[in-house]
């Protein structure tokens, strides 16, 4: 059977019986049967004999709650030549993802209820819950706060100016206070633009060798520390986006020990790859923050293992081949929705660094917990948002076969181990590659 996607009226509701599957969530790892009916997990147990419209043999496969990626860029509205909500959701489903947090640097920016409603409505029949992130400041310009109450009423659960920082510390402090009042999470793009000053990759040995301007790690570390101080002052929550440095990881670890309400995320490329790849002068390996060093990779892995880092995300940021053609002038960003699970298994699970239960925490449970959404698990009565994967399947990443409109992946040509085969959203099979 080839893979397929089902949207809207094409979807057929019906019961599903999954036999002899290894069911893994944050708490359990068992061999069992799972029966799905009316959009929920109706039964979990051995030798289930429920009549079902679809029966799946789960032998040698793994069932997990579907992934939630709390950091994507779907480019819609305004940049739909790179990606749109429908193609972004197709990429998500191919990666086992049924929920995303969509960042606001669109055109127009997501700073008003109309744009938020447009994104929610366009995604309604995709099988992916798309939560639009509202802008912290009007138009992401940094010169005035948005109406957070209006954003919340329109459907926002998080605000950010991701793609750029809030440069003024007092404005960020006020944003934290007001977000607290409105029950919104603040997610921070930690970058000091004066330190970056036009840099395009990690500042270090490789940038000097290539003769290009580097991005000093002090930029990320400094704003990470600033946000934590401001959040502590306001007694508010702060979420640190795409952690890439040893310094930021250490700062967040210390803040958690002190009781600051801080959470954070990282992406597979930060615990797998280093700036040595930039020697190819290929802009597909450029993103912001950039690939760092071996020491940073080790620190990120340790942060994932000890609980300092809460989530694995992708920062899925599509750009066209034409835009990525010039190494020094290309925009930053890489796609990642279709490779994140496989990359995580390859780098962390198959190497013995973390368990499958911890993978479920990092990619399924913690993002939803941080956002105040239903905590997924494989038990009776829970929503049937699930993924079936072959965790031992070896495959080579071919950019041309990705569902995203754009193919700027750092994993191109790489062999990964583990792949989502079936994605079930609210009891409906939305993707099938068995």
Cα(17)–Cα(431) distance, integer angstroms: 16
- The number of angstroms, rounded, from the C-alpha of 121 to the middle of its chain's C-alpha atoms is 21
Q: Which residues on neighbouring strands pair with residue 264, listed in sequence order?
A: 240
* Burial annotation 361-387 (CB, 10 A radius, 16+ → b, else e): bbbbbbbbbbbeeeebbbeeebbbbbb
Phi and psi at residue 69, in whole multiples of 5°? -100, 110
Sign of CA dihedral 197, 198, 201, 207: negative
Taking CA 369 as the corner, what is the angle to CA 363 and CA 374, rounded to the nearest 5 degrees? 100
Phi and psi at residue 357, in whole multiples of 5°? -60, -40
Cα(230)–Cα(232) distance, integer angstroms: 5
Phi-psi region of 163 (alpha: psi -120 to 50; beta: other; left: phi over 0): left
Cα(26)–Cα(364) distance, integer angstroms: 9
Q: Which residues on neighbouring strands pair with residue 67, listed in sequence order?
A: 97
SS3 14: coil
Active site residue 221: no
| Distant-in-sequence, close-in-space partners of 60: CB < 8 Å, separation ≥ 6 | 390, 392
Beta strands in 249-309 (DSSP E): 262-266
Which candidate in 111, 129, 315, 432 is catalytic?
315
Q: Give me 399's structure tokens.
A: 């950019």
Residues with a known catalytic role: 315
């Amino acid at each position: 059977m080839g893979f397929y996607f089902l949207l809207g009226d094409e979807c057929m509701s019906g019961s599903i019986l999954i036999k002899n599957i290894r069911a893994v969530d944050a708490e359990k790892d068992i061999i069992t049967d799972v029966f799905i009916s009316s959009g929920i997990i109706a039964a979990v147990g051995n030798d289930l004999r429920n009549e079902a419209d679809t029966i799946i043999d789960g032998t040698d496969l793994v069932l997990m709650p579907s992934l939630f990626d709390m950091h994507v860029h779907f480019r819609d509205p305004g940049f739909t030549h790179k990606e749109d909500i429908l193609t972004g959701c197709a990429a998500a489903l191919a990666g086992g993802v049924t929920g995303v947090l969509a960042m606001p640097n669109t055109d127009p920016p997501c700073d008003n209820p109309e744009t938020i409603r447009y994104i929610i409505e366009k995604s309604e029949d995709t099988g992916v819950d798309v939560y639009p992130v509202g802008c912290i400041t009007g138009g992401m310009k940094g010169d005035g706060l948005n109406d957070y109450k209006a954003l919340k009423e329109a459907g926002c659960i998080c605000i950010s100016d991701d793609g750029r920082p809030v440069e003024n510390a007092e404005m960020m402090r006020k944003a934290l206070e007001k977000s607290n009042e409105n029950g919104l999470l603040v997610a921070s793009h930690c970058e000091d633009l004066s330190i970056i000053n036009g840099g395009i990759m990690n500042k270090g040995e490789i940038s000097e060798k290539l003769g290009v301007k580097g991005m000093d790690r002090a930029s990320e570390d400094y704003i990470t520390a600033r946000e934590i101080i401001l959040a502590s002052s306001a007694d508010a929550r702060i979420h640190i986006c795409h952690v890439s440095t040893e310094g930021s990881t250490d700062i967040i670890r210390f803040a958690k020990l002190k009781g600051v309400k801080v959470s954070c995320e990282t992406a597979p490329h930060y615990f797998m790859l280093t700036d040595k790849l930039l020697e190819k002068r290929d802009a597909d390996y450029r993103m912001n923050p950039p690939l760092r060093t071996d020491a940073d990779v080790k620190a990120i892995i340790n942060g994932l293992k000890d609980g300092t880092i809460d989530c694995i995300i992708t920062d899925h940021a599509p750009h066209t081949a034409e835009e990525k053609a010039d190494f020094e002038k290309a925009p930053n960003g890489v796609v990642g929705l279709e490779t994140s699970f496989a990359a995580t298994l390859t780098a962390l699970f198959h190497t013995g660094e973390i368990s499958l239960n911890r993978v479920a925490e990092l990619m399924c449970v913690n993002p939803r917990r941080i956002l105040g959404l239903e905590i997924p698990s494989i038990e009776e009565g829970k929503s049937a948002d699930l993924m079936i994967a072959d965790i031992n399947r070896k495959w080579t990443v071919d950019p041309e076969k990705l569902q995203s409109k754009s193919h700027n992946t750092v994993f191109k040509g790489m062999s990964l181990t583990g792949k989502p085969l079936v994605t079930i959203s609210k009891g409906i099979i939305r993707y099938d590659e068995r």
